[in-house]
Structure formats: structure tokens, C-alpha cells
Structure 1
Amino acid sequence: MDLDVLNMFLIAGGTLLIPILAFVTSFFFWPAALIKIYYWYWRRALGMQVKYVICGNYKFCYTSRGRPGPKPSILMLHGFSAHKDMWLAVVKFLPKNLHLICVDMPGHEGTTRSALDDYSFAGQVKRIHQFVESINLNKKPFHLIGTSMGGCVAGVYASQYPSEMSSLTLICPAGLQHPTDSKFLKQLRDLKESGDDQRIPLIPSTAEEMEQMLKLCSYVRFKIPQQVLQGLVDVRIPHNDFYRKLFLDIVDEKSRHTLQESMHKITAPTQILWGRQDQVLDVSGAEVLSNAIPRSQVEILENCGHSVVMERPRKSAKLIVDFLSSVQTTENNKKHD
């Protein structure tokens, strides 16, 4: 073979080999870095731009797509120990003509974390209102979506600022008194009785604990390689002290039932989504909410656990879009009457 031709093959082979080796090396030795690259890629692919806004000495990090238009903007609030990118799976299936905003909740990811901050549900509502005002989102009513911890914050926000709401979606929200205890609550009770109340199933520190947490949060059984589980843990471990403080703040006696105490003040058209097999917050909470919020719509997703937006992103997106359309139709009919 001609030497120039051989060199060409070696160069071409090396060009292909370098990214493959980089991926394999990252997978085995730096899985946490690979996870960050994954989110970076999907943000770019879906057109979600990372932005920051400063309020005094406090910084909010968020992603957004599109601009405010005739349809209400959508603000999404994530759950405990998650971050803004957890919504990417749903964003993928939402129309591109909607103005979307996903914010890192107080103390999470790129948003300011302070030991002096109030991380109770009431404290988080104040911070989210600060964020909404800082980006002028409340110039006109917007649609608010929250899941789990973020669901409680969204519901309480809607009860306190009804004029800012066009509509509301609550996805298995925290902050309720459930007629039926979940597996997670029973685990917490057992750990407390055994004297091991320092261990919280939602705050893993090993790959094995990470796997158990995923099983608790999801009905769908994802087969996740050990290296990826370790990567997920590695990303979280530096934040575990904060997660523990946050968890204790939101389950404190003064905070744990904040949505229960506020739900009767919610006047916005409300959609309630819940996974039938939710082991973290029992599905019986859906009826508690629907009985308190007039004309609320309930959708129970079969074969689905607590991580609704991760397990059923396409279905979640469709239900949200259909709900928004029905709210818009109702509003238009009122104008014509």
C-alpha cells in the first residue's frame, strides 16, 4: 500500500478513534462529566438557553426557549435535589411556539445557596416570586407547573398570587396530608424507630443507594450501568449536606402541610397529574386536591411512579398542552358571552 494512502487511513482512523476513546474513558473514569455533557447536548438540541438574573446578592440560574407571545408563558419548578434540566424530557415534546422557563430552585445547581436562607416551602415561594418579578414574567398571567417539592411551591404560589396565574399544573406535589401512607413515609418511620434517622432514602451516598432511590421513585425499571449510577452519586455527594438541611426544612412541622393549608385559596384552572404507583407521595393526594380546588382536572397515569415527567414525558407534555388548550377555549368562550 502506498505510504500516503496508509497515512490517510491512520489519520481518518485516529479522528474517529479519539472521540470514541474519550467517551469510553469518561464512561469508566469520569461518568459525572459525561452526565454534564449529556445535559449540555440536549439543552442545545432543544434550543434551551442558560441564563442568569441577579437580585441584590442573590443569583437565579434558569433556561428558557422562545419569547412571550399571545399564549401564556410556562414556568416549571423541579423537585427535591433535582435541577432545571430534569424538564428536558418534557420540553422535547412541547410545541416550539410556547415560551418556556425552567429555573433552578433555591440552593440547587446554579441558583444561590446560602446557609442563612429559608428553605421551607414558604421561604421557597418568596424566592420564586422574587425570580418571577426579576424577569418580568408576571407582566401578564402565566402557566405554572411544579412537581413534588416544586409542586407544593407552585400550589402555594398560586394561592398567594392568584392574579399572576393563567393556570396551574401540579404533578404529585408534596405538602399534603395523605389518607394513605406511601412506602417512603413508612421507610422514614421505620428508620426513625430503629434510631437510624440520619439516613434519608432520597439522599444516596453510594451507587447501591442510588439504585434503591431510583427504584423508589420510578415504577419503570431502567437498567442503568454501575458506572452511570456512580456518576449520578458523584454529582450529588458534594451537595448532600445541603439536601439534608433542605429535607429537614420542608418536613418540619411548620412546613410539611403547607399546600394542604393553602389549597382552598387556589382559584386558577388547575390540572393534577399523579402516577398510580407513586411510592414517594401516595396517589390518594390527588383526591385531596381535587376536593379542595373547584373544577380541577385529575389525570392518573397508570404504570407510573413518582417521577412522572421522567417516566412519561410524552404523555405529560400532551396532557399539559391539551389542558392549556381547554383553558384557552374556556377563556375565549367567556369573552364571547
Structure 2
Amino acid sequence: MADNVTTETVDVRGLKLKVQQAGSGETILFLHGAGGSNWTGLLDRLATKYRVLLPEHPGFGRSQIPDWMMSVGDLALFYLDFMTASKLDNVHLAGHSLGGWLTAEIAIRNTTKLRSVSLLAPAGIAVEEAPFGDVFLWNHEQSTRAQFHDQALAEKRLTVAPDLDIALQNKSAVARLAWNPRFSNPQLPFWLHRIDKPTLLLWGREDRVIPYACHVPYKNGIAQAQMETIDLCGHAIHNEKPAEAAAVIEKFLSGVKA
């Protein structure tokens, strides 16, 4: 994590939300995936040109799961309140995996505070011919290996012991959001037409968690969707190909009109 990343606490209707941030300029609000809130090389690169905010979802890390959080839809409404509490407007909303699904759920509800939408290998829509991997059944090694196309990166990641308390807390929170049906909302495809902002879809072609074929309903459902692919890349786009992902996102954002 870069030295210039700071952490603050934002009060959202009585809930204290931890938010990391760095950079200046137009705001990117980045929503993390099921693995938790981790500042990555992708965010370091984006923060050289943008103000990047990375909140830790309620119930993740060392925070308690709030009683009201029973679905990704609940979390979407919470983040709309967060944007109001933080006085955010013209936001470039982005998210990866679970966070990408959450980004889509926010955007189908209300885009008035958004300038663009970026979905990085989002969960949320199951495709019969390309089923999701079941993260609830995988152990730590299986989950880590599934994140990467380049297994040398997986091996390196496996040398770092996880914080088991945080890992279990994150899994508990994810179970609230994505247990049944697994990591999807069957109603979501019907409402994607409500996303009326420029939208980037970014996928690793070798994704084994949320397979590449899952981009099709998103591409078909969002009128202003632009699809980009990173070859020789798995699910963890932000960790496996941070420079390539940052270049794609920056090019997309530079074309978004104010």
C-alpha cells in the first residue's frame, strides 16, 4: 500500500464506515470483493490521476454485521446513503467481483450521483453454461489458486498467512449477501436497462471464479456498455494485471463526458 493512503471514518446513519483514500481529482469510489478491503496496485495507479476511495463494507474486516444487511440490495441502498453523507457527486463508481455486482445493484436503483460505472468481473448474474466457482466450498489454497491464471502469483500469495479472524468474518458477511442463490440475483438482468451512464465491463479471459461468458448478459442489458478483455488473466484483475487494468480504466474514464 502506498505511503500516501489515509484512512478516515464516515458516519452513515449511525454506522461507522472505514474508508481508505489517496490521490486527488475526479472521484473513483471502488467497492471491494468478497476477499475484503485491500488497497492494491491498481488503486495506487489510479490514485496518480484520480481521488480514489476504498470503503470497507459493513460486516467485513473486524466490524460487526449490521442486522439490516440481508442482501446485496440492502448494501446498495447503504452506499447511496454513504454518497449522500459524504457529499459525493459525479462519482466514477467501480467494483470488482462481489463489489462489481454491488456496483450494478447501486446503478439500477439510482444513477443521479454517478458519472460512470466500471464493472470488473462482476458476480450477480449466473450463466448456465459457465457456472461460478463455489467459494464457500474452497479452502484457502483452492480459493487463492482460482484467483490467478499465473500460478506463480498464487504461490507467492500462499506464502503469506491469512488473518483467520478477518477471513472468517468476511466469509460470514459474504454468506449474508450471496449464499442463496450463490453470488447472483435472478432479477438483476431485468433491471440492467436502468443503468444510463457510460459503463465499462472488464474481464480476465481465464477467469475461473466468475467465468468470462458471464459478461454476455451484462453487455446485452446495459445500453452504454463497453466490453474490454485482458488476456492471460484470471479473476484477480487488480492483482494479476494492475497496470493493464489501470490503463483500460483510465482510457475509459478519459472518454466519459462531464
Residue 143 (structure 2) pairs with residue 213 (structure 1) = yes
The question of whether the paired residues in 1 share the 8 Å contact of 2:46 and 2:52 is answered with no
Q: Indicate whether 1:117 and 2:47 are aligned.
A: no
Report the residue type matching 1:151 in the other structure. G
- Of residues 100, 105, 112, the one that matches 2:57 is 105
Note if contact 1:121-1:255 (Cα within 8 Å) is conserved in structure 2: no
Could you tell me which runs of 5 or more consecutive residues in structure 2 were left unpaired when the two chains were aligned: none
Q: Deviations over 1:20-77 (max 9, x none)?
A: xxxxxxxxxxxxxxxxxxxxxx241xx111111123431100111244x4xx311000
Q: CA deviation at 1:88?
A: 2.5
What residue identity is the alignment partner of 1:259?
A: L
After superposition, the C-alpha distances for 1:210-266 in whole angstroms (9 at most, x for unaligned) are 2221111211112337652xx21xx03454155145325323249831533431211
The aligned residue for residue 184 of structure 2 is 256
User: Residue in 2 aligned with 1:224?
Assistant: 156
Whole-Å separation in 1 of the counterparts to 2:244 and 2:95: 16
Q: Secondary structure at the match of 1:327?
A: coil
2:148 and 2:235 in contact (8 A); partners too: yes
Cα contact 1:120–1:255 (8 A) shared by 2 = no
Give me the whole-angstrom Cα distance separating, in 1, the residues matched to 2:175 and 2:255: 36
The letter for the 1-side match of 2:14 is N
Counterpart of 1:25 in structure 2 is: none
User: Is residue 70–residue 176 contact of structure 2 (8 Å, CA) maintained in 1?
Assistant: no
Cα pair distance change 1:305/1:255, threshold 3 Å: closer
Q: Is 2:45 aligned against 1:57?
A: no
Tell me which moved more, 90-99 or 260-269.
Answer: 90-99
Q: Secondary structure at the match of 2:175?
A: helix
Cα distance in 2, alignment partners of residues 225 and 292 from structure 1: 36
* CA shift in 2, pair 1:55/1:181, >3 Å: same
Give the total of aligned pairs: 255
Go from structure 1 to structure 2 and tell me whether the alpha carbon gap of 1:305 and 1:53 turns closer, same or farther (over 3 Å shift): same
Higher strand share: 2
Q: TM-score, normalised by structure 2?
A: 0.89
Deviation of residue 153 (structure 1)?
Answer: 0.7
Choose from 127, 131, 135 the match for 2:78.
127
Q: Cα distance 1:51–1:215, how it changes in 2: closer, same or farther (>3 A)?
A: same
SS across alignment from 2:30: strand
Q: Distance in 2 between matches of 1:66 and 1:241?
A: 29
Question: If you compute each CA radius of gyration, which structure gives the higher value, 1 or 2?
Answer: 1
1:279 aligns with 2:208: yes
Moved more, 267-276 or 157-166: 157-166
Bigger CA drift: 236-245 or 54-63? 236-245
CA RMSD of aligned residues (A): 2.3
Q: Aligned partners of 1:226, 1:216: CA distance in 2, in Å?
A: 12
**1:173 pairs with one of 122, 126, 131:** 122
Q: Distance in 1 between matches of 2:98 and 2:238?
A: 14
**Structure 2 vs 1, CA of residues 240 and 142 (structure 1 numbering), >3 Å: closer, same or farther?**
same
CA distance in 2 between counterparts of 1:326 and 1:210 reads 39
Q: Secondary structure at the match of 1:60?
A: strand
Aligned counterparts of 2:148 and 2:183: Cα–Cα separation in 1: 25
Instruction: State the Cα distance separating 1:327 from its structure 2 match.
Output: 1.4
Distance 1:172 1:61 in 2: 24
| Residue pair 1:81, 1:108 contacting (<8 A) in 2 also | no
Residues 106 and 127 of structure 1 are in contact (CA less than 8 Å); yes or no, is this contact kept in structure 2?
A: no
Indicate if the aligned counterparts of 2:91 and 2:113 stay in contact, CA closer than 8 A: yes
CA contact (8 A) 1:264 1:292 kept: yes
Structure having greater relative contact order (Cα 8 Å, sep ≥ 6): 2
Are the structure 2 counterparts of residues 146 and 259 from structure 1 closer, same or farther at C-alpha, using a change threshold of 3 Å? farther
Note closer, same or farther for the CA distance 1:245–1:77 as it changes in structure 2 (3 Å cut).
Answer: closer
Aligned positions of 1:175-324 closer than 5 A: 175-182=124-131, 184-185=133-134, 200-201=137-138, 209-221=139-151, 222=153, 223-224=155-156, 227-228=159-160, 231-232=161-162, 235-237=163-165, 239-240=167-168, 243-244=171-172, 246-253=174-181, 256-257=184-185, 259-324=188-253
